[in-house]
A and B are shown apart, each in its own frame.
With several copies, the nearest count.
Chain A
Amino acid sequence: DIEHPLWYTAPSAKTMELAKKDDLSNTVVSDGQRGEPGFPAANLALTDEQIAKVKAGEFTVAISMGWLGDDWASQQLIGLKESFEAMGIKVVAETNANWDDAKQIADLDAISVLKPDLLVSIPLNGKTTASAYKKISDAGTKVVFIDQAVEGMDPGKDYASIISSDNLALGMYLADALAEATGGKGDVAAMYYANDFYVTNLRYEGFIARVEAKYPDMHVVVAAGHNDPNKGQEVAQGLLARYPTLSGVYASWSIPAMGAVTAATVAGRTPADFKIVNENFDQIVALNMAQNGFIAGISSQRPYDQGVAEAKVGALALLGEQTPPYVVVPPLKVVRSNLAESYKTIYRVDLPAEMAEALAN
């Protein structure tokens, strides 16, 4: 009976069914936008022969991002660029629409001029930017979508694949992490990104579904939106002022989550009685977790792996191979006990000294 976001639609029966499963590690929860089953990214592979062919092709690629400025975007870019370099594909353009659909169209228009062989891009919106993608695809550029496709384009024909996190699962892991940290009891809050955005919508949906299905004693008493991650603190403050007994919050991305950390600190709450979970595994929240701070759980994506998968799919598409329409990168649930190991998995390097030290205490 809380007030859900404006764009919210209740989880489907199938989602509710899966939400009841105890162990999700071998399940792909989300389907593609057309109901396609997810293809695990780990199963993608190129033969040596294929790689040699790609190298010989001297292909070019353009990358059009919807935003930059978090580890998700930068790790993904690293994954993309490293893989492309390894395969001899040249990056000829890189754009950032900075959350602005119109800017993304302008970016795509400029990219179309370069006539790259491949485009890897995350559409900010499945409808608004559709024609710009269609134009590029019609001109013969292979398109690989990150997270979602646009309307009016068909897999296999107009684009190669969508590579996405399992966003419903991501939301469910968040619920698991929060329940684990709070003991599955008490009042909690959810902070959400107020704008209609495909992937964050799914995570919210997954979170709500899981809480409903599995944690009857944990009550989501309020959901509050923000349309600017920097405002996370203001929102969290408001929640804590109004619901002083909250035992935890799902605080969406890492920046709002850190805002919630600040809000909790100044509200006199302690990590012992207030838990925050979020969905970006970046340096900042990781450090806080290592330091026994408020961040109790992270439902992490694997942006680097996702970037690599995108590059692989792109390479296959360049060779004219058929690729699975919906490729899924599974989430990773990070808590303090598996922090070091998770860090290595996601970032491919050891935990920074500062975190290691904090973790040791």
Chain B
Amino acid sequence: MQSKATAAPRPPSALPKVQLQNYVVYIFFAVVLLFFSVTIGDKGFLSVMNLFNIARTTAMITVIAVAMTFVISAGELDLSVGSTAALAALTCGLVMQAGFGWPVAVLAALVAGLAVGCLNGFFVTLIGIPSFLVTLGMMQFIRGLDMRVTYTNPVSISNQSFNSLFGSGNLFGVPSLLIWSLVIAVLGHVVLKYTGFGREILATGGNRMAAEYSGVKTRRVKFAAFLLSGAAAALAGMLYSGMMQTARFNFGEGAELMAIAAVILGGTSLFGGRGTILGTFAGSLLIGTINNGLIIMGLDVSEQMMVSGGIIILAVAFGKKPTA
């Protein structure tokens, strides 16, 4: 992590490279796709079904990562997303079990997600606690709550409209999970890149005080980022549960790290001020594709971990040349 305020002077010749680096994740994604197509294309990797599979399994991480891009661009972190996803999934499931229709359940889940976002935002922006700690504590707290509420039992969801809308359904032959992640990614891209709010997020993360002096209400902006993140986590939770037709307290464990990895892989700076949703989307797909391809290749778990760990490092090293 190299602070933005202190980047070492780059040699001038590195300038065009910097441009290339912005596209590293796309290039690498293409390379990985190509590699798998050649090696295991005939083993089902290239089937439409499998490509849809990749999109489907990455949907949850994508949705979380899109909102995480806002949080990180604003100079914060949200580690509570995984347990919030589980909370929302459980809320949704329990509300439906109680006999309410799915719209009510969806609303309730969103409220749960927003409530977590609200708490995070409160502690970070109004009390001034580092977000790493707040959201780490929140992650534990919510996970405990998830366990408590359900006595760790899974909650089954049998509402088929819900399951098909949020999970395993299709729309015109396209998996609804893919549609969700596309919609969220496009929305996120437009908001971050073309709206005043997006600019304020980036300015806040780039230099909070300068943004303040320019009239940006940085507290509100950060608060809003946490709300977004909470809502996205809730949506991700519903997608999980719709897909599994079940909600369970341990959904989304480790999703926070995966999402952050997708964000950083996509080219967003962990120190804030620079963010790209398209990169995040590609980063998430890249991770999903690697996981899927390695399974189809028949690698065992230990090999999968070694290869995918190696690829994450190399994907970025690839487009870099040693800085002077």
- The answer to A–B direct touch (Cβ < 8 A) is yes
Q: Which residues of A contact B (CB under 8 A)?
A: 3, 5-7, 68-71, 73-74, 92-96, 98-102, 105-107, 109-115, 125-132, 151, 194-196, 222, 224-228, 230, 233-235, 237-239, 241-244, 254-255, 258-259, 261-263, 265-268, 282-284, 287, 354
Residues in A neighbouring B245, C-beta threshold 8 A: 127, 130-131, 258, 261-262, 284
| Contact (Cβ within 8 A) A101 B295 | no
Q: Could you list 11 A-B pairs, sorted by A, with CB under 8 Å?
A: A3-B298, A7-B153, A94-B301, A102-B240, A110-B50, A110-B53, A113-B47, A227-B301, A233-B244, A237-B53, A258-B244
A93 in contact with B298 given A109-B53, A115-B44, A237-B57 (CB within 8 Å): yes
| Contact (Cβ within 8 A) A109 B57 | yes
| Contact (Cβ within 8 A) A73 B152 | yes
User: B250 in the interface, Cβ–Cβ < 8 Å?
Assistant: yes
- Minimum Cβ distance to chain A for residue B63 (Å): 13
Interface residues of B in 248-270 (CB under 8 A from A): 248-254
Over the window 224-260 of chain B, the binary record of Cβ atoms lying under 8 Å from chain A Cβ atoms (1 yes, 0 no) is 0000000000000000100111101111111000000
Instruction: Determine the distance from Cα of A107 to Cα of B295 in the docked complex, in whole angstroms.
Output: 7
| Contact (Cβ within 8 A) B45 A241 | yes
Instruction: Determine the distance from Cα of A253 to Cα of B301 in the docked complex, in whole angstroms.
Output: 17
Residues in B neighbouring A233, C-beta threshold 8 A: 57, 243-244
| Contact (Cβ within 8 A) A242 B43 | yes
| Contact (Cβ within 8 A) B248 A106 | no
| Contact (Cβ within 8 A) A226 B301 | yes
Instruction: Determine the distance from Cα of A109 to Cα of B55 in the docked complex, in whole angstroms.
Output: 11
- Minimum Cβ distance to chain A for residue B65 (Å): 15
- Minimum Cβ distance to chain A for residue B164 (Å): 10
| Contact (Cβ within 8 A) A114 B44 | yes
| Contact (Cβ within 8 A) A110 B292 | yes
| Contact (Cβ within 8 A) B296 A196 | no
User: B167 in the interface, Cβ–Cβ < 8 Å?
Assistant: yes
- Minimum Cβ distance to chain A for residue B137 (Å): 17
Nearest chain A residue, comparing its CB with the CB of B305: A227
Residues in A neighbouring B194, C-beta threshold 8 A: none
Instruction: Determine the distance from Cα of A194 to Cα of B97 in the docked complex, in whole angstroms.
Output: 24
Interface residues of B in 267-305 (CB under 8 A from A): 288, 291-292, 295-296, 298, 300-302
Residues in B neighbouring A282, C-beta threshold 8 A: 153-154
A283 in contact with B154 given A233-B57, A237-B53 (CB within 8 Å): yes
Nearest chain A residue, comparing its CB with the CB of B143: A227
- Minimum Cβ distance to chain A for residue B180 (Å): 14
User: B175 in the interface, Cβ–Cβ < 8 Å?
Assistant: yes
Give the top 6 A-B pairs by smallest Cβ distance, nearest first. A238-B295, A6-B151, A241-B44, A196-B152, A113-B44, A96-B301
A106 in contact with B291 given A113-B53, A266-B168 (CB within 8 Å): yes
**CB < 8 Å A-B pair total:** 210
Give which listed residue, B152, B244, B300, contacts A262 with CB less than 8 A: B244
Give which listed residue, B49, B244, B249, contacts A131 with CB less than 8 A: B244
- Minimum Cβ distance to chain B for residue A211 (Å): 20
A234 in contact with B151 given A127-B245, A225-B300 (CB within 8 Å): no
Nearest chain B residue, comparing its CB with the CB of A107: B295
| Contact (Cβ within 8 A) A265 B244 | no
Over the window 166-184 of chain B, the binary record of Cβ atoms lying under 8 Å from chain A Cβ atoms (1 yes, 0 no) is 0110000001000000000
- Minimum Cβ distance to chain B for residue A69 (Å): 4
Residues in B neighbouring A255, C-beta threshold 8 A: 154, 248
Residues in A neighbouring B161, C-beta threshold 8 A: none
- Minimum Cβ distance to chain B for residue A355 (Å): 10
User: B189 in the interface, Cβ–Cβ < 8 Å?
Assistant: no
- Minimum Cβ distance to chain A for residue B290 (Å): 11
- Minimum Cβ distance to chain A for residue B155 (Å): 8
Residues in B neighbouring A226, C-beta threshold 8 A: 301
Q: Which residues of B contact A (CB under 8 A)?
A: 40, 43-45, 47, 49-50, 52-53, 56-57, 60, 147-148, 151-154, 156, 158, 167-168, 175, 240, 243-246, 248-254, 288, 291-292, 295-296, 298, 300-302
Instruction: Determine the distance from Cα of A283 to Cα of B251 in the docked complex, in whole angstroms.
Output: 17
| Contact (Cβ within 8 A) B53 A94 | no
A259 in contact with B292 given A151-B156, A225-B300 (CB within 8 Å): no
Instruction: Determine the distance from Cα of A222 to Cα of B44 in the docked complex, in whole angstroms.
Output: 15
| Contact (Cβ within 8 A) B154 A74 | no
| Contact (Cβ within 8 A) B152 A101 | no
Give which listed residue, B153, B154, B252, contacts A102 with CB less than 8 A: B252
| Contact (Cβ within 8 A) B253 A6 | no
- Minimum Cβ distance to chain A for residue B85 (Å): 10
Instruction: Determine the distance from Cα of A80 to Cα of B118 in the docked complex, in whole angstroms.
Output: 40
Nearest chain B residue, comparing its CB with the CB of A110: B295
Instruction: Determine the distance from Cα of A92 to Cα of B292 in the docked complex, in whole angstroms.
Output: 14
| Contact (Cβ within 8 A) B56 A127 | no
| Contact (Cβ within 8 A) B298 A129 | no
| Contact (Cβ within 8 A) A222 B251 | no
The residue among B53, B288, B302 with the most chain A CB atoms within 10 A of its own CB is B53
- Minimum Cβ distance to chain B for residue A287 (Å): 5
Instruction: Determine the distance from Cα of A287 to Cα of B77 in the docked complex, in whole angstroms.
Output: 39
A100 in contact with B250 given A242-B44, A266-B168 (CB within 8 Å): yes
| Contact (Cβ within 8 A) B154 A196 | yes
Nearest chain A residue, comparing its CB with the CB of B153: A196
A70 in contact with B57 given A244-B44, A262-B244 (CB within 8 Å): no
| Contact (Cβ within 8 A) A109 B56 | yes
Give which listed residue, B153, B246, B251, B296, contacts A130 with CB less than 8 A: B246
Instruction: Determine the distance from Cα of A199 to Cα of B49 in the docked complex, in whole angstroms.
Output: 34
The residue among A95, A151, A244, A354 with the most chain B CB atoms within 10 A of its own CB is A95
| Contact (Cβ within 8 A) A94 B300 | yes
| Contact (Cβ within 8 A) B301 A194 | yes
Residues in A neighbouring B298, C-beta threshold 8 A: 3, 92-94, 222, 224, 242
Instruction: Determine the distance from Cα of A113 to Cα of B298 in the docked complex, in whole angstroms.
Output: 12
Residues in A neighbouring B44, C-beta threshold 8 A: 113-115, 241-244
Instruction: Determine the distance from Cα of A109 to Cα of B293 in the docked complex, in whole angstroms.
Output: 11
Instruction: Determine the distance from Cα of A102 to Cα of B288 in the docked complex, in whole angstroms.
Output: 12
| Contact (Cβ within 8 A) A128 B295 | no
Nearest chain A residue, comparing its CB with the CB of B154: A127
| Contact (Cβ within 8 A) A69 B249 | yes
Instruction: Determine the distance from Cα of A261 to Cα of B163 in the docked complex, in whole angstroms.
Output: 13
| Contact (Cβ within 8 A) B251 A101 | yes
| Contact (Cβ within 8 A) B300 A3 | yes
